[in-house]
Amino acid sequence: MAVRLRLKRMGRKKRPFYRVVAADSRFPRDGRHLEVLGHYNPMPQPHMVKLELDRIDYWISVGAKPSDTVAALIKQVRCEVGGDEKAAAVESEAPAVESEAPAVESEAPAVESEDSAAEATE
């Protein structure tokens, strides 16, 4: 059984909130789950996230894989809690990307207008 940690959508139309659940990957998104691991409410500002990190660690230790969104939520909560070593390890594994590219100036010859070319010949 391939277990995934993922979001289960709850709430009404246009007012979603999510439960973070451990579920078999073959189950439907909003279907049966094995265990509720937390809640995520994206509507209020700032977003409300409550996760049971000890249970999440257990499921990951037995082979469950978090979805991309759940992995981002776990990382966010771990950083807020106090710089957990696991969150720091995830950040240190990612290569640093430098967005500063050296500025290259083109040295193309300037195009002279006909008037300035005529003045230069006179």
Q: Could you report the per-residue pLDDT of 6-47, keeping only the tens digit for each?
A: 999 999 999 999 999 999 988 888 888 899 999 999 998 888
Give the angle 2-7-12 at the CA atoms, nearest 5°: 140
Helices (H), 28-104: 53-61, 68-82, 85-93
pLDDT digits (tens, 9 = 90+) for 39-97: 999 998 888 999 999 999 999 999 999 999 999 999 999 998 876 555 444 433 334 44
Query: Where do the structural domains in the chain lie, given as residue ranges?
Result: 3-93
Q: Write out the E strands in the chain.
A: 3-12, 15-24, 35-41, 48-51, 65-66
Provide CATH code, domain 3-93. Answer: 3.30.1320.10
pLDDT at 99 over 70: no
Pairs from 54-57 (Cβ < 8 Å, separation ≥ 24): 56/5, 56/20
